[in-house]
């Protein structure tokens, strides 16, 4: 159970009073999660999600509130935080920062259909089209500079073959990115795995958990999606899912020439980002709570597949989206 700070009914009932959400009925802790305490709250009017922030850079929480408010204003399937009657969303409860959200319908897709892949590609493309104009700023905490600085910490725990593979890849990434200009920038989800989405059948109920959100290369977000949504168990890409996602994305925002050139590098780099972050949790920075870390093996497999087999050809963008991309630049 990912409830690190238990709450009582009376505490939550009092917390809800400044919000126009109805009268408290019940409280349920939510299983899963690795960092924050999450609860389902039922009132006589609606279903809510209450999140207590247990760790991390809490001074950055206003960035997430602003980003979610911005995206929610454009009616994307994203739960904007609920504001109280005075317009305040970020509160404190049990001496922890707290946010209240509407509870969205659906379940995490384990084996996404092609239609679910199309929907996530379309939604991400629309989000990126809008997020390029978001005024907030939070540097990507897991970009190439982080990889360069942090990969040395795990090398001693790896066999020689993997040490060499990791070191050589980071060197190659630095050279390849240096050879290109700045890629299109905007606000990112930063962790858009299947388990951060909710679907009812093929209908997207919502995208959740923006707490890896940041600003940076839009291509970084798309690569994370492809590595999770369109990858087989052996780490190789599933062409049907890959093409459906990319086609739907590019109907909203066409990739630039530099993005297309760096696409194999970005796919490989984001795979290494998750292999490294999971290795760090296992060997260097264990979780603050008694939770089982994610297995690094999955992303080692994906990273090695990207290094060995590269990527699939990128579909061409529709003419209308390509024209919009040129105008946006």
Spatial neighbors of 10 by CB under 8 A, at least 6 apart, are none
Q: What is the CATH number of the domain that holds 236?
A: 3.90.1200.10
User: What is the span of the domain harbouring residue 75?
Assistant: 9-102
Q: Is there a single domain that holds both residue 36 and residue 76?
A: yes
| Distance between CA atoms of residues 285 and 288, nearest Å | 9
Question: Which candidate, 186, 180, 172, 187, places its Cα nearest to that of 269?
Answer: 172
Q: Is there a single domain that holds both residue 41 and residue 171?
A: no
pLDDT at 36 (0 to 100): 87
CB atoms within 10 A of CB 233: 7
| Distance between CA atoms of residues 114 and 241, nearest Å | 6
Q: Is there a single domain that holds both residue 77 and residue 123?
A: no
Q: Is there a single domain that holds both residue 33 and residue 158?
A: no
Distances (CA, A) of 61 to 53, 54, 138, 192, 225: 9, 12, 11, 19, 24
Model confidence over 286-318: pLDDT tens digits? 866 666 778 999 999 999 999 999 999 999 988
Residue 1 has pLDDT above 50, yes or no: no
| Distance between CA atoms of residues 60 and 184, nearest Å | 23
Torsion on CA atoms 136, 151, 225, 74, rounded to nearest 10: -10
Q: How many domains does the chain have?
A: 2
Average pLDDT over residues 321-326: 61
Average pLDDT over residues 175-190: 96
Q: Is there a single domain that holds both residue 159 and residue 74?
A: no
The β-bridge relationship of strands 37-43 and 47-52 is antiparallel
pLDDT at 327 (0 to 100): 46
Q: What is the CATH number of the domain that holds 44?
A: 3.30.200.20
pLDDT at 56 (0 to 100): 65
CB 230 within 8 A of CB 117: yes
Radius of gyration of the chain (CA): 20
pLDDT at 31 (0 to 100): 79
CB 188 within 8 A of CB 91: no
CB 245 within 8 A of CB 284: no
Average pLDDT over residues 44-61: 89
Q: What is the pTM (predicted TM-score) of this model?
A: 0.94
Lowest mean pLDDT across 179-188, 244-253, 289-298: 289-298
Q: Is there a single domain that holds both residue 283 and residue 320?
A: yes
pLDDT at 321 (0 to 100): 72
């Amino acid at each position: 159970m990912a409830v690190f700070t238990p709450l009582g009914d009376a505490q939550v009932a009092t917390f809800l009073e400044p919000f126009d959400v109805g009268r408290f009925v019940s409280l349920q802790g939510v299983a899963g999660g690795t960092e924050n305490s999450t609860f389902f709250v039922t009132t006589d009017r609606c279903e809510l999600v209450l999140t207590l922030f247990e760790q991390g850079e809490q001074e950055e929480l206003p960035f997430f509130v602003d980003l979610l408010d911005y995206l929610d204003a454009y009616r994307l399937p994203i739960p904007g935080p609920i504001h109280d009657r005075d317009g305040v969303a970020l509160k404190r409860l049990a001496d922890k920062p707290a946010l209240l959200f509407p509870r969205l319908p659906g379940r995490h897709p384990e084996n996404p259909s092609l239609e679910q892949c199309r929907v996530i590609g379309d939604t991400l493309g629309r989000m990126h089209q809008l997020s390029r104009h978001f005024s907030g700023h939070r540097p990507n905490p897991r970009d190439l500079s982080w990889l360069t600085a942090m990969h040395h910490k795990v090398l001693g725990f790896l066999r020689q073959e993997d040490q060499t593979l990791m070191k050589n890849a980071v060197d190659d990434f630095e050279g390849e990115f240096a050879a290109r200009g700045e890629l299109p920038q905007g606000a990112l989800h930063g962790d858009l795995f299947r388990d951060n989405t909710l679907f009812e059948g093929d209908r997207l109920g919502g995208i959740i958990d923006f707490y890896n959100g940041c600003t940076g290369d839009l291509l970084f977000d798309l690569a994370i999606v492809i590595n999770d949504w369109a990858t087989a168990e052996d780490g190789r890409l599933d062409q049907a899912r890959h093409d459906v996602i990319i086609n739907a994305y590019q109907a909203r925002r066409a990739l630039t020439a530099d993005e297309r050139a760096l696409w194999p590098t970005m796919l490989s780099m984001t795979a290494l980002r998750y292999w490294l972050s999971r290795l760090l949790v296992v060997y260097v920075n264990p979780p603050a709570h008694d939770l089982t870390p994610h297995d690094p093996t999955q992303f080692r497999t994906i990273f090695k597949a990207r290094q060995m087999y590269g990527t699939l050809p990128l579909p061409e963008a529709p003419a209308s989206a390509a024209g919009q991309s040129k105008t946006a630049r």
